[in-house]
Amino acid sequence: MARNLSSSLQSKLATQQLVVADLLELHLDTPVYLTNASLDINYDSATAPDAGINTYTAQGQFIGFGNVSETADIRVGSIDISFTAVDLTTIALVTNNEYIDRRIVIYRAILDNNNNLNTQNVFQYFDGRITTFSIQETENTATLTIQCATQFADFEKQAGRTTNVASQQIFFPNDKGMEFSAGIVKDIKWGRA
């Protein structure tokens, strides 16, 4: 991932003492901007649905997420994002299915010693879609975990039409143009070596 980071940001990340804040964008009907920092952070991201500077609220519920690893292989990258002491507003977002297949973007910001943000020290950490959630309750609190996956989550899914009679006759009931497609498809080398 370092290939996309500026040299000044790479040197900041190499230091032993970092003040890190994560900025979370939930692209719902009304966008939600959260941070796990101890104070609100104003930032103008390229992916935010609202133009201009948005305030990422330090609300104490967004507590973190799992690790993301980068590989050269095409694979489904996934991440779990955790919220704790969840209030009814946050629970309502997921139980009303407003979250399904919504975009979620996470930025990592390196703050200075005074907790100020330099926009040169922010990088995109994750960009994907919300797939599902789980809620675990105890007597005193609740934990909401949202599972997210990258754009390759449906990579193996067979979408669209196929080259067979049944698929063709859904749209053209009397057409027999695909009647012998099963025997011909063996000779077509689409996507095969």
Residue 59 sits in the same domain as residue 16: yes
Q: Residue 88 — pLDDT band, cuts 50, 70, 90? A: confident
Express each pLDDT in 119-178 by its tens digit: 888 888 888 888 888 888 888 877 888 888 886 555 455 666 667 777 777 778 888 877
Per-residue confidence (pLDDT) for residue 178, from 0 to 100 = 76
Residue 134 sits in the same domain as residue 191: no
> What is the number of residues in the chain?
193
DSSP letter string over 29-81?
Answer: SS-EEEESSSS-EEE--SS-SS-S-EEEEE-S-EEEE------SS----EEEE
Domain that holds residue 55: 2-154
Residue 143 sits in the same domain as residue 165: no
Residue 61 sits in the same domain as residue 109: yes
**166 vs 27, 172, 173, CA distance in Å?**
38, 10, 9
Query: What's the average model confidence in pLDDT over 102-117?
Result: 86
Strands of 50-188 (E only): list them: 54-58, 62-65, 78-84, 103-111, 117-137, 142-149
The total number of structural domains in the chain stands at 2
Least confident of 71-75, 126-130, 182-186: 71-75
Residue 111 sits in the same domain as residue 167: no
Q: Is 111 left (phi over 0), alpha (psi -120 to 50) or beta?
A: beta
